[in-house]
Amino acid sequence: MAGSENQESGEGKRCRICGDVVEEFIDFGRQPVSDSFVMPYEAGQEFFFRLSAGICVACSMVQLTEEVPREQMFHEDYPYRSSGSTRMRSHFHSVAQRLLETELTGRDPLIVEIGSNDGIMLRTVRDAGVRHLGVDPSVRAAELAASEGIRVQTDFFEEQSARKIAASEGPANVIFSANTFSHIAYIDSIFRGVDTLLASDGVFVFEDRYLGDIISRNAFDQIYDEHFYLFSVSSVQSIAQTFGFVLIDAEHLDIHGGSMRYTVARPGVRIPSDSVAQFLRQEQKMGLADPGTYRRFAEETRNSCSELISLLRDLRAEGKTVVGYGATAKSSTLLNYCNIGSDLVSCIFDSTPEKQGRLSPGTHIPVRSSDEFSAPYPDYALLFAWNHSDEILAKEQEFREAGGRWILYVPTVHLI
């Protein structure tokens, strides 16, 4: 389907969860698959789709209005590697340790991870000698995990694959997923798979970007093809109830620009924590169920993009060198929506070998190794990986000492 484009208008869209009307609030127009970093000879052959988001008038689930085929996003060459960030390695080690201490304590426990990537979380579980299985459709990521002795199955997690796992492994005490569950439009099949595989007293724990942070921080670039749903505590509670489960805990995490860890269990097994009710009250005050909140968010997004384009054009007119830092999936939304190409941002530096030597999706900005960032330093660096800003700014301290300036656009366009 290279080079094809879906021309649907987005009108009359229905919620993938409850079937009610989805009210569109933002349209980013024609976009490529966000992680389709192509070789130069592949430029112009990308798959394109219409990126827009809306809110369900009934269950308040924020979701994309057009689904990209999963094979276009998650495939053998899927380039993202969780282990590329020191902070994420530390985070997932802590997650695994916590699960080992609280949930994986019985006789021969089992944890199954949906979207295990390169095995960053399961390494700690492996080291503890606990039974585990990762499920991920990316062949190369799965091979990396397997090379380190992590048990992994190359597949999409859904009802059918869950039945096979249950038959061969038995029930799972924990089903875990990080930054994956919100990527999957067919949540009904996922929950049927969880129902099939999860032990009677087990828990389904998943982490995803938090809608409250996206709105409050105007993190508009968190809207891209992989993030089909933008979860709130309220919408997750509604999902759980729809499929016969109960949301028993919600914990805010200061990663990826603001995330939430949700814990779901079968009815009557555990008492919901006070945090669930607290977050529900907070979301009501924030207006996360009010369509007007999202219309204001869309207006702020348009203003931020206009300011950023003006800044980049002014810097170009002054003869300044501007590069990008962090070839993130979310940068695709910004670059293509604002039509920012190599005339404004000459290249993007990134530490992921799978992205180096390739071109950014749609706008075709060259991606270079972050080892070359200092040869020589540019005048300005547009930080696409703003959610890892503390780690990156500490790593690249010499850039600022040499007179370089960082450009950020979340929550507003500003210089550091």
In a domain, 74, yes or no: no
Q: Are 385 and 325 in contact (CB under 8 A)?
A: yes
Q: Exposure pattern of 182-219 as b/e (b: 16+ CB <10 Å)?
A: bbbbebbbbbbbbebbbbeebbbbbbbbbbbbbbebbb
Q: Are 121 and 104 in contact (CB under 8 A)?
A: no
Q: Are 174 and 168 in contact (CB under 8 A)?
A: no
- pLDDT above 70 coverage of the chain, percent: 94
pLDDT at 230: 97
Tell me the average pLDDT of the chain.
Answer: 92
In a domain, 54, yes or no: no
pLDDT at 143: 87
C-alpha dist (Å) from residue 28 to 4, 122, 128, 300: 17, 36, 45, 13
pLDDT at 87: 85
Q: How confident is the model at residue 77 (pLDDT cuts 50, 70, 90)?
A: low
Q: Where are the alpha helices (DSSP H) in 318-388?
A: 331-338
Q: Are 58 and 235 in contact (CB under 8 A)?
A: no
Tokens at 3, concatenated: 């080079």
In a domain, 26, yes or no: no
Asked if the model's pLDDT at residue 113 lies above 90, the reply is yes
Return the ∠ at Cα 110 (arms to 267 and 240), rounded to 5°: 25
The CB density around residue 364, as the number of other CB atoms within 10 Å, is: 18
* Segment 306-330 mean pLDDT: 97
* Segment 71-86 mean pLDDT: 62
In a domain, 96, yes or no: yes
* Model confidence pLDDT, tens digit, residues 349-378: 999 988 999 999 999 999 999 999 999 999
pLDDT at 139: 82
Higher pLDDT among residues 68 and 6, named by residue: 68
pTM for the structure as a whole: 0.91
Domain carrying residue 113: 82-291
Q: How confident is the model at residue 141 (pLDDT cuts 50, 70, 90)?
A: confident
pLDDT at 74: 57
pLDDT at 79: 57
In a domain, 284, yes or no: yes
Asked if the model's pLDDT at residue 4 lies above 50, the reply is no
Return the ∠ at Cα 127 (arms to 121 and 128), rounded to 5°: 100
* Segment 288-316 mean pLDDT: 97
Tokens at 54, concatenated: 């809306």
Q: How confident is the model at residue 10 (pLDDT cuts 50, 70, 90)?
A: very low
Distance of CA 89 to the CA centre of its chain: 16
| Residue closest to 68 by CA, chosen among 154, 6, 114, 122 | 6
* Model confidence pLDDT, tens digit, residues 199-244: 999 999 999 999 999 999 999 999 999 899 999 999 999 999 999 9
In a domain, 173, yes or no: yes
Q: What is the DSSP letter of 184?
A: -
* Model confidence pLDDT, tens digit, residues 160-172: 999 999 999 999 9
Distance CA 340, CA 321 (A): 14
Higher pLDDT among residues 144 and 112, named by residue: 112
The CATH number linked to 231 is 3.40.50.150
In a domain, 152, yes or no: yes
In a domain, 110, yes or no: yes
Q: How confident is the model at residue 189 (pLDDT cuts 50, 70, 90)?
A: very high
Asked if the model's pLDDT at residue 412 lies above 90, the reply is yes
Domain count, the chain: 1
